[in-house]
């Protein structure tokens, strides 16, 4: 595949570096390769990079999936980043700042940094694209976000999904859209980076809440209510932060909420279900071997809400259960006994 815009040198394939060889980094690397890119995955562990290079399989995450020939792996950040048109970041949100500071000197000049992460930084309450801009010292026009209902396990099975590619610069969004568009992965562009990132981060918190309700056996009315009121509080926060409210009825908002809150493949949903069934936080963490971003980001989302003076009762309830040891039944009673109010306020 040649580059999708005239600004880039012709005659070679689009190159992508993907930092993080977990579920989504591996799956999105496969999408990029299927779309015609040359992909280098950066892995922390040499055994994993060797396994991918020799067997074409990531044995730790997707032992049954053969990765395309155009995907290779390395543990050397400079080798991964070399000449990359897109530098994709797929590590846990809370580790981004430290890792990116180490990788920044190796980034290819002019590369577009792409966040796959759905979290908000603890302490600063910054979105991932803000952390990227700050640490890599790049303008917002060179930072993009890929988000939407994209459960990695379904993507590696090449099951159909749509997504959103968001960037302040629509031309950059279109380049990335072309670089990851395949017959099974349909990306739409959006310039509302704030809304897209908030949609992704807050849906993990609502996914935890719905999981808890499922674990408690509260039924489908409770699920529908939590999804809808979860979307309402996400939209309130988005509006306060300058996002376009329509983003939240799109793939980054409603689409991702529905997928996360209805799928047993969602780590956040499953985490919540275990808590709702009565596991302690420590027991739940012990059985969750992958990243469930909402567990940490519920606190930073609540922090954001307070900074913007926005009421987010479901997020507050999740923080109470996950971090303050509040029994789910007590939290439920508190949530249901809040003062009555109109739906649209």
Ligand X SMILES: O=P(O)(O)OC[C@H](O)CO
Summarize the annotated binding site as residue ranges: 20-25, 44-45, 61, 118, 148, 152, 203, 256, 266-268, 293
Of 216, 233, 239, 224, give the one whose Cα is nearest residue 298. Answer: 233
| Residue 270: CB minimum distance to ligand X, A | 8
- Burial class from Cβ neighbours inside 10 Å (0-12, 13-18, 19+) for residue 106 reads middle
Among 190, 284, 291, 317, indicate the residue that binds ligand NAD (CB under 6 A): 291
The answer to whether residue 341 is catalytic is no
Of 221, 194, 202, give the one whose Cα is nearest residue 302. Answer: 202
Among 3, 14, 17, 25, indicate the residue that binds ligand NAD (CB under 6 A): 25
DSSP sequence for 78-147: HHHHTT-SEEEE-S-GGGHHHHHHHHGGGSPTTPEEEE----B-TTT--BHHHHHHHHHT--GGGEEEEE
- Burial class from Cβ neighbours inside 10 Å (0-12, 13-18, 19+) for residue 172 reads buried
Residue 149 engages ligand X in binding (rule: CB under 6 A)? yes
Closest to ligand NAD by CB, 23 vs 247, is 23
Binding-site sequence positions for substrate: 118, 267-268
Q: What x/- string results for residues 106 through 145 when contact with ligand X is judged by CB under 6 A?
A: ------------x---------------------------
The one catalytic residue in 15, 126, 153, 203 is 203
Residue 302 engages ligand NAD in binding (rule: CB under 6 A)? no
| Residue 120: CB minimum distance to ligand NAD, A | 10
Which listed range, 110-118, 129-137, 182-190, 234-242, lies at the site for ligand NAD (CB under 6 A)? 110-118
Q: 10 Å Cβ neighbour count for 251?
A: 24
Residue reference for tokens 């275990």: 274
Q: Looking only at residues 199 through 218 of this chain, which bind ligand X when binding is defined by CB under 6 A?
A: 204, 207
Q: Tell me the sheet residues that pair with 72.
A: 40
Residue 207 CA to residue 250 CA, distance in Å, equals: 17
List the single partner that 93 binds among ligand X, ligand NAD, none, CB under 5 to 8 Å by kind: ligand NAD
Phi-psi region of 119 (alpha: psi -120 to 50; beta: other; left: phi over 0): beta
Residue 127 CA to residue 118 CA, distance in Å, equals: 9
Residues that bind ligand NAD (rule: CB under 6 A) add up to a total of 23
Of 154, 48, 42, give the one whose Cα is nearest residue 106. Answer: 42
Residue 328 engages ligand X in binding (rule: CB under 6 A)? no
Catalytic residues: 203
Note the residues at the interface with ligand X (CB under 6 A): 118, 149-151, 204, 207, 256, 259-260, 266-269, 293
Note the residues at the interface with ligand NAD (CB under 6 A): 20-25, 44, 90-93, 95, 99, 116-119, 150-152, 290-291, 293
């Amino acid at each position: 595949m040649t580059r999708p815009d005239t600004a880039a040198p012709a005659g070679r394939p689009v190159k992508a570096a993907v930092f993080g060889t977990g579920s989504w980094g591996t799956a999105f690397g496969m999408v990029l390769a299927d779309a015609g890119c040359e992909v280098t995955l950066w892995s922390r562990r040499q055994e994993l990079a060797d396994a991918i290079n020799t067997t074409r399989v990531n044995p730790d995450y997707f032992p049954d999936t053969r990765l395309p020939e155009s995907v290779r792996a390395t543990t050397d950040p400079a080798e991964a980043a070399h000449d990359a048109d897109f530098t994709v970041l797929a590590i846990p949100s809370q580790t981004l700042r430290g890792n990116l500071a180490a990788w920044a000197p190796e980034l290819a000049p002019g590369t577009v940094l792409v966040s796959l992460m759905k979290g908000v930084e603890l302490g600063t309450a910054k979105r991932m694209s803000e952390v990227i801009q700050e640490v890599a010292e790049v303008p917002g026009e060179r930072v993009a976000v890929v988000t939407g209902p994209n459960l990695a396990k379904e993507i590696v099975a090449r099951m159909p999904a749509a997504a959103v590619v968001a960037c302040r610069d629509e031309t950059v969004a279109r380049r990335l859209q072309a670089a990851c568009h395949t017959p099974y992965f349909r990306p739409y562009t959006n310039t509302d980076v704030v809304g897209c990132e908030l949609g992704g981060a807050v849906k993990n918190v609502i996914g935890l809440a719905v999981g808890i309700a499922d674990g408690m056996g509260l039924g489908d009315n409770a699920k529908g209510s939590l999804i809808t009121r979860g979307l309402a509080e996400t939209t309130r926060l988005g509006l306060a932060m300058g996002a376009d409210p329509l983003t939240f009825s799109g793939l980054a908002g409603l689409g991702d909420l529905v997928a996360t809150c209805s799928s047993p493949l969602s780590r956040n949903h499953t985490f919540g279900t275990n808590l709702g069934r009565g596991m302690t936080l420590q027991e739940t963490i012990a059985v969750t071997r992958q990243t469930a971003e909402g567990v940490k980001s519920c606190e930073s989302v609540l922090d954001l809400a307070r900074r913007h003076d926005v009421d987010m009762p479901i997020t507050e309830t999740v923080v109470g259960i996950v971090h303050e040891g509040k029994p789910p039944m007590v939290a439920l009673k508190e949530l249901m006994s809040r003062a009555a109010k109109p739906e649209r306020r």
